Structure formats: C-alpha cells, structure tokens
Amino acid sequence: MTDFVVVIPARYASVRLPGKALREVNGRPVVEHVYRRGCESGAREVIVATDDDRIAAAAKGFGARVCMTGDRHRSGTERIAEVADLFDWSDDTIVVNLQGDEPTMPAELIDQCAELLDDSAADLSTLASPIASEADFNNPNVVKVILNEQQEAIYFSRAPIPYSRNADQRDSARQAALHHHGIYAYRCSVLRRLVAANPSPLEIAEELEQLRALSLGMIIRVGRPTIRPGHGVDTEEDLVTAARELAE
C-alpha cells in the first residue's frame, strides 16, 4: 500500500457558488462529505486546509484536523504547499490533493491516484474518464485531457480537443479525449517546485493550474478510474445532483 496523506483545500469565496464548502448536501456540508471520502481511503492522515474561520469551525465540529493557511493563495496547490511546509513534510511525502468540492469522489480512486506515483518516472498523477457526451465535449467546465501512448498528459484544455477538421471524424476526435477529474497526487519535492515557478502563459489562458507542470516539463501520469466519480459541486444544480448521487 502506498503511503500518502490527503489534503483538502477549501475556500469560502468561490466565484460561481460562494460558500459552497459549507452548503449542505443531505444534511451535511460539502466539505464534510469530502473529508469522509478521504477518511475512507488508505491515507494515513486527512487534513482540511482553509483560510476561512467558518470552514475551520465547521471542520473541527465534525472531527477533522484543520490547518489554517494564508488568504492569498491562487490555487489549491499553493495552499497545500503551505501545509507541507507547516508540517515539515519530507520531499518524498506523497500528497493527494482532494479538492473541497468533490463530495462524491470514491475512496478507492483516491488510493488509485496515489498508487500511480509508485512509478518513479511520474512527477504528478491524476485521473480521467471517457467523455460521456457531445455536450460534455463542448462544455468549458468539463476539462479535457489528451494523452500519449505512455498514458502521460500531453495537454489539458477547456476547449473541445482534439479539433476535427472533418465533421465525419468528430466522434473519433471526441473518443481521443478524456474527461479530467479534479484530483492530483504529487511528492512534496514536486509540489515545492510547482509553487516556486511563475504561472505559465498556458495556465493563465486556460485557468488550469496543471498546465504549469506541463510547461515545466513534468510528467503527469493519467489513470483511468476503476469506477466513474460523481459530479463536483460548482452550481446550485450540482448540489442537487450530488445529493442524488450520494443517496444512491
């Protein structure tokens, strides 16, 4: 079993759904569901990282270990890097970034993401599934990733990639892309290198932090999840969907 820790970065000031970490789904705040998924995994420790006293109080109320961080982080990766430094984790420590808006992420996929780093050639790991529909392929909120033959990420985009110039090959193009799920694993040495670098032009354009890693020449190993995770929470409609999926 791979030894790893889970950190859940959680902020209150979400643009699309303010306060979503504390919005209730089936009687519990979203962040509590995420924490429970982390505790169901093989992680030796699960930590909620936040800069918000309301989230911290709620997390302590359901028994989570909380790490208070600065309020100027531009990404969950930056917040997790502060946690790693505060706890003085070694460069070899594997951290899974379990985003605070993923209440239906199965615990076995958290383990799977961590285990992908058993391959020492990989700098980061993540998960991606086949695109479910044409609507998802064209949805900028569904991040697409394309891979090489070694199952390493070539590029991530909000746009429908790869682009097919021939309408008859549209389905083939869609099948070449995967739906990226918002979970990452990295060693602390990689985490520290990432946050020390400036955002790349690609990262700024797409607003996708994983593009910084690709710009630095890092290898991102992409696994196909053993089961498809449910929806993350970004909108009011997502709260309803997550409630149904958790009930099921």
CA distances from 221 to 8, 25, 40, 150, 213 (A): 21, 32, 23, 8, 12
Beta bridge partners of 232: none
Interval 67-71 mean pLDDT: 92
Domain count, the chain: 1
Span between the terminal Cα atoms of the chain, in Å: 29
- Note the pLDDT of residue 88: 96
CB 40 within 8 A of CB 107: yes
For residue 127, the domain's CATH number is 3.90.550.10
Rounded to the nearest angstrom, the gap between the alpha carbon of residue 116 and the centroid of all alpha carbons in its chain is 15
72: domain range? 5-247
Q: What are 110-135's pLDDT values in tens digits?
A: 999 999 999 999 999 999 999 999 99
CB 159 within 8 A of CB 137: no
Q: What is the pTM of this model?
A: 0.93
10 Å CB burial of residue 198 (0-12, 13-18, 19+) is: exposed
Interval 227-232 mean pLDDT: 87
Beta bridge partners of 67: 49
CB 31 within 8 A of CB 111: no
Judge whether residue 67 has pLDDT over 80: yes
Judge whether residue 157 has pLDDT over 90: yes
Judge whether residue 174 has pLDDT over 90: no
